[in-house]
């Protein structure tokens, strides 16, 4: 147990010493890692904002439930309990037939028409509910469940639009995963070559260690620790810079967009996921790159 603690301390000290001993290459490695992380983070933020726009647009196409005319006002309002209990229903809003007629009258009058011949007592409209879904991709099965509720006469569900948004969202997810995987692979390749250049300066040191009987593990771990420290430090720096750049972009877009159409999501909503994504990516790139680089010099 003492030997393990001593070795771990030795590896940590050697990893830190190597960083400062080869300062220029360490800065170059950190710059490469941070640059790739920012590119990856920017793409991830783009995907998140596009999906947010899709979800917002999809929520505008909510389901409309028309209620049986034979139900009283009180009975129609009580249906809300059954509607909200259906899986995938986020919420529902009851609209009285008189409110629906008033809204329809305003729309017609805005187009230059008139509904003067229709009085409230002759209201041809029904009570209705506007239903918002949690996942629009499940609209069809949610509609089927709502149709089984007694008192629901007819349902308007834009399923084709929902399927289009769902397909678009899936395509974006696949592209995002593929791009992030590609960037990670490129980052490991570049950082391994960067660390390999630094390792070239220490090949005589490695050769001497091999001659005196040092094991591959003993030689490898200082480089792994060095890669871990470089990756972690680069991740923290890249995360802070990404946050600052994103907030600068968001403030400029908000300032020039009075209607709020192009507003970006607040970084705070995705900061937790971004932080752990950067930490994981920095760890994998730093440790993986160092491992790939040192492997060549450990071959007999």
Alpha carbon 55 to chain centroid distance? Answer: 13
**pTM metric for this prediction:** 0.60
Q: Could you please state the CATH topology (level 3) that the domain comprising 62-157 is classified under.
A: Alpha-Beta Plaits (3.30.70)
Strand partners, 152: 67
What does the pLDDT average to over 73-82? 89
For 291, half-sphere exposure in the C-beta direction (CA atoms, 13 angstrom radius) is 10
Give the Å distances, CA to CA, from 62 to 55, 67, 89, 133, 159.
11, 16, 11, 7, 10
Write out pLDDT tens, residues 138-176.
888 888 999 898 988 888 887 777 777 778 777 877 887
- Separation between Cα atoms, residue 21 and residue 42, nearest integer Å: 33
Write out pLDDT tens, residues 91-124.
888 988 888 777 777 766 666 666 666 665 667 7
- Separation between Cα atoms, residue 19 and residue 230, nearest integer Å: 8
- Sequence-distant (6+) residues with CB within 8 A of 15 are 222, 223, 224, 225, 226, 228, 229
Residue ranges of domains in the chain:
2-57+164-298, 62-157
Helix axes 216-255, 271-295, angle to 10 degrees: 150
Expressed in angstroms, the distance from the first to the final Cα of the chain is 30
Residue 240 has pLDDT above 60, yes or no: yes
Between residues 20 and 300, the one the model is more confident about: 20
Between residues 201 and 65, the one the model is more confident about: 65
Give the Å distances, CA to CA, from 6 to 10, 13, 137, 215.
6, 11, 56, 16
Please tell me whether residue 80 adopts helix, strand or coil conformation. Answer: helix
How would you classify the pairing of strands 128-133 and 63-67? antiparallel
Taking alpha carbons only, the member of 115, 112, 163, 155 closest to residue 136 is 163
Among 69-78, 168-177, 204-213, the range of highest mean pLDDT: 69-78
Strands in 128-133's sheet, in edge-to-edge order, are 89-95, 128-133, 63-67, 152-156
- Tokens representing 19 are 């960083």
């Amino acid at each position: 147990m003492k030997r393990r603690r001593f070795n771990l301390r030795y590896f940590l000290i050697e990893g830190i010493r190597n960083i400062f001993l080869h300062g220029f290459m360490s800065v170059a490695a950190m710059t490469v890692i941070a640059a790739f992380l920012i590119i990856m983070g920017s793409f991830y933020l783009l995907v998140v904002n596009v999906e947010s726009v899709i979800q917002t647009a999809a929520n505008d196409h909510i389901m409309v439930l028309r209620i049986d005319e034979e139900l009283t006002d009180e009975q129609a309002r009580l249906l809300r309990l059954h509607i909200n209990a259906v899986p995938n229903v986020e919420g529902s809003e009851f609209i009285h037939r008189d409110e629906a007629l008033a809204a329809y009258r305003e729309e017609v009058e805005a187009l230059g028409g008139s509904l003067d011949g229709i009085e409230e007592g002759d209201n041809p409209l029904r009570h209705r509910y506007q239903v918002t879904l949690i996942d629009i991709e499940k609209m069809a099965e949610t509609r089927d469940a709502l149709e089984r509720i007694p008192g629901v006469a007819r349902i308007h569900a834009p399923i084709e639009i929902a399927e289009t948004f769902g397909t678009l969202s899936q395509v974006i997810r696949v592209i995002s995963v593929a791009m992030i995987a590609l960037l990670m692979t490129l980052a490991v390749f570049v950082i391994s070559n960067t660390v390999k250049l630094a390792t070239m300066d220490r090949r005589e040191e490695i050769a001497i260690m091999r001659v005196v009987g040092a094991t591959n593990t003993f030689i490898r771990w200082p480089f792994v620790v060095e890669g871990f420290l470089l990756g972690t430090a680069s991740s923290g720096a890249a995360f802070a810079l990404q946050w600052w750049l994103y907030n600068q972009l968001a403030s400029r877009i908000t300032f020039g967009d009075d209607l709020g159409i192009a507003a970006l999501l607040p970084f705070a909503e995705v900061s937790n996921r971004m932080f752990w994504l950067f930490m994981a990516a920095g760890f994998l790139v730093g440790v993986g790159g160092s491992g790939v680089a040192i492997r060549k010099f450990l071959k007999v």
